[in-house]
Structure 1
């Protein structure tokens, strides 16, 4: 239900002219609940996956990038990093599916997530990986990896 409300607010927010005075960001309102939902036990995995996908939807969009506060990004990065290192393929795949544009938005400090993403992508494509990885997850992982190609040019 929370995810549906956020989707509705984001869709409405996309139609607001840029000249409109800033409003309280949706991510600031829902972030504490989503962070808590990302850390629930395994038996509530479905809710945890919805929380991860909703977090990614909130932060991985052009409308959010210029206005998001660094304090909120720090918490977002921490949760995404924990999810990538969780060892749960469903969590990792959800992050790949919904954070495809994370490195192309120019979010401050996003480079701290590069090692975690590259590590998980390399595990995904290892020859000894016996998991039946969905094709869309492989495609999204390659998109994320492709968005990192120009990073060495920005940080010589």
Structure 2
């Protein structure tokens, strides 16, 4: 088994998410993968930042809890704290709810409201960008090649979301 740095996992997840963000308007089955990838991407960025800062992590933290921790300057000191407004916290919640729907299927199938997701996905890219690129806790926390891949993937996700916002959202 090869041991890869956490930043490589984050870069891989960001690229995976970007590929599905680009396919959503044409491939319905990409939406669940986009949702799952976007939440995992945020979780990975949060765990990397909190770990590098020496913050205590609960055994099985949920994505909303991790986001709350990286946005709390008593847990993740300034300037590393993610500057999220209350509206951004609320905007992220439908993404987590959609991911939960994907991860815990019901007999009636998936019920993902795509109209509520563009803002949530932009919040996900904002969190990831801040923690991994803009203000990493440690200078070399993210490998240079992973930084480039993450930056490119986040840009692709945002471009795709802006496009499919007009296609999917009434």
Do both proteins adopt the same fold according to a TM-score greater than 0.5, normalized to the shorter chain? Answer: no
Higher relative contact order, chain-length normalized (CA < 8 Å, sep 6+): 2
TM-score (norm 1): 0.33
TM-score (norm 2): 0.30
